[in-house]
Every structure is written in structure tokens, then in C-alpha cells.
Amino acid sequence: MPFGLYNASGTFQRCMMDIFHDMIEKMMKVFMDDFSVFGNSFVTCLSHLDKMLKRCEDTNLGLNWEKSYFMVKEGIVLSHQISKNRIEVDKAKVDVIAKLPYPTTEKGIRSFLGHAGFYRRSIQDFSKIARPMTRLLEKDTPFFFSKECIEAFQTLKKKLIEAPILVASDWDLPFELMCNASDFAICAVLGKRKTKHF
């Protein structure tokens, strides 16, 4: 099914889920046409990779070998730099966003918020910061990119540039669920309290 069609992406995702249903979360992750096969040792990873490739062969699923990477310790997956213990934003993508001028149309706001929103989990209070711009997207609201909107735009760009590195969780510490709600957003953060010793 070609990607230009309305339901193509959803249909393709369901197809991938059907093909790899018994492997997902156990030995691999699938998002659209991106696969990540993992294991806790080199031998296990090879075994999982072999099973995934066999399944591709059995279902006549073609792979683009030029875009395939095997046995890497880090790499870019879905615009995130992933390594053993950390996840960072892809600096190349962030650099493009950082150079954007502020939007002058509703379409420009949607585009910026779509791109920046991809990294929203790295930006605390994303919805709150973006609120002046999202108000302009409400029905029957005249378009005026105010000083407040420019400040929100610049703040989001700044926070993207200095986005924190997400580190792997310490499973020996208890989890903590922090919730918050307002008139326009609901937020929940699953975190851990960690005492720092200097």
C-alpha cells in the first residue's frame, strides 16, 4: 500500500504488528518501518536478529540493507540518539528547528509545534509554554503573533537546544508518579527520587 494514501500508515503498522506479534516487546520494537532488535548479550541479540530476519523471509517482507545497521552500541532511532544508558535528542534535527524564524501563519505554527512536539517529553511544561501559540489555532481566533507568542517560540527553541539527556532507570529505586492538571493540559511524570552525593 503506497504511503500517500489516507490509511496507509495505519494499515502498514497493523501489518507489522501482525507479522511480529509474538516478538514485539520480547526481542524487538516496531514503529512503522523501523525495527530495533535487542538482547541482553551478544549471543541473545544474534538469536533474536536471526528470528526476525527469518520472519521477514517467511512473509516476503523486503528490507533496505543500505538503511540497516547491525550490532551497534548506539545510533539514531526515530530522531533520538540511543545508547546503552541514555536517550538524547538528535542534534541535527534540533539544529534545523533552532534556525527557524517564528511562524507567520497557522500552518507555520502547526508545523513548528509538530516538529518541536516530537521532543515534548524532553521539555518540562511543553503545553504550558506553547499555550500562547496553540491559542491561535482555536476556531475563530484572529491570527496575531504577539510578543507572548514570540517568547513562547523562543523558549521552546532554547529548551530544545538544551534538552536534557534521559538516562536508563535504576530499577532498585522505587518509582514515583507525579500528576498535574490545568484548564488546558493534563500531565503525569513517572520518575524516581535519587539522592545526589557530591
Summarize the confidence of residues 139-158 as an average pLDDT: 92
Q: Is the pLDDT of residue 140 over 50?
A: yes
Residues 97 and 154 in one domain: yes
Which helix (H) or strand (E) is 117 found in, with range?
Answer: helix 106-117
Residue 92 lies inside a defined structural domain of this protein: yes
Q: Is the pLDDT of residue 122 over 70?
A: yes
Summarize the confidence of residues 96-107 as an average pLDDT: 87
Length of the chain in terms of residues written: 198
Q: Scanning the structure block, which residue is given the C-alpha cell 500528576?
A: 179
**Residue from 110, 132, 126 nearest 180 by CA:** 126
Residue 103 lies inside a defined structural domain of this protein: yes
Number of domains forming the structure of the chain: 2
Residue 135 lies inside a defined structural domain of this protein: yes
Residues 59 and 114 in one domain: no
Residue 153 main-chain phi, psi, to 5 deg: -60, -50
Residues 51 and 96 in one domain: no
Question: Which of the two residues, 75 and 194, has the higher pLDDT score?
Answer: 75
Question: Which of the two residues, 11 and 144, has the higher pLDDT score?
Answer: 144
What three-state secondary structure class fits 154? helix
Q: Is the pLDDT of residue 154 over 80?
A: yes
Residues 94 and 141 in one domain: yes
User: pLDDT band for position 171 (50/70/90)?
Assistant: confident
Task: Give residue-wise pLDDT tens across range 4-47.
Answer: 667 777 788 888 889 999 999 899 988 777 788 888 888 999 99
Residues 97 and 147 in one domain: yes
Which residues, 6+ apart, have CB-to-CB distance to 147 below 8 Å?
none
Question: What's the domain range around 33?
Answer: 8-71
Q: What pTM was estimated for this model as a whole?
A: 0.60
Give me the pLDDT at residue 4, please.
61
Residue 81 lies inside a defined structural domain of this protein: no
Residue 15 lies inside a defined structural domain of this protein: yes
Sign of the C-alpha dihedral computed for residues 15, 21, 27 and 29 taken in this order: positive
Residue 63 lies inside a defined structural domain of this protein: yes
Residue 96 lies inside a defined structural domain of this protein: yes
Distance CA 33, CA 12 (A): 8
Residue 136 lies inside a defined structural domain of this protein: yes
Summarize the confidence of residues 85-93 as an average pLDDT: 79
Question: Which of the two residues, 128 and 13, has the higher pLDDT score?
Answer: 128
